[in-house]
Amino acid sequence: MAETAATIYHNPACSMSRKILAAIRAAGIEPRIVEYLKTPPDRATLADLLARAGLTPRQAMRTKGALWRELGLDDPAVGDDAILDAMAANPVLIERPIVVTAKGVRLCRPPERLAEILA
């Protein structure tokens, strides 16, 4: 196993998330897997992850599905705090997968972003 530890905020129902998990394992790393729909990060952890990834909450919000529209989050006037609150309360709104390594945090969409933080 490689030295670099990793954590993946994972949804096993998502093909992209499964692809990234497989790529991490192919690199010789057995990551800590957080199934974020079952064990969502709290608001502070989510805010920290996004800041470390260089993303705004809007950039990390999942816009597939109806919930983001139902909550009015498609309105450009909705601020980051409101989006972050909604993501913390409804983790299905968090785009995936988010991967954390010693080299940084990335939302691995597109999947090539993973290479930026693997050893």
Contacts of residue 27, defined as CB under 8 A and 6 or more positions apart, other chains included, come to 2, 118, 119
Domain ranges of the chain: 6-116
Residue written as token pair 């999947």 = 111
Mean pLDDT of the region 1-21: 86
Indicate which residue of 14, 47, 55, 67 is catalytic: 14
Mean pLDDT of the region 62-79: 95
Identify whether 14 is a catalytic site residue. Answer: yes
pLDDT of residue 63 exceeding 70, the answer is yes
According to CATH, what is the number of the domain 6-116? 3.40.30.10
Per DSSP, the three-state class of 119 is coil
pLDDT of residue 1 exceeding 60, the answer is no
Instruction: Give the Å distances, CA to CA, from 89 to 39, 71, 82.
Output: 12, 11, 11
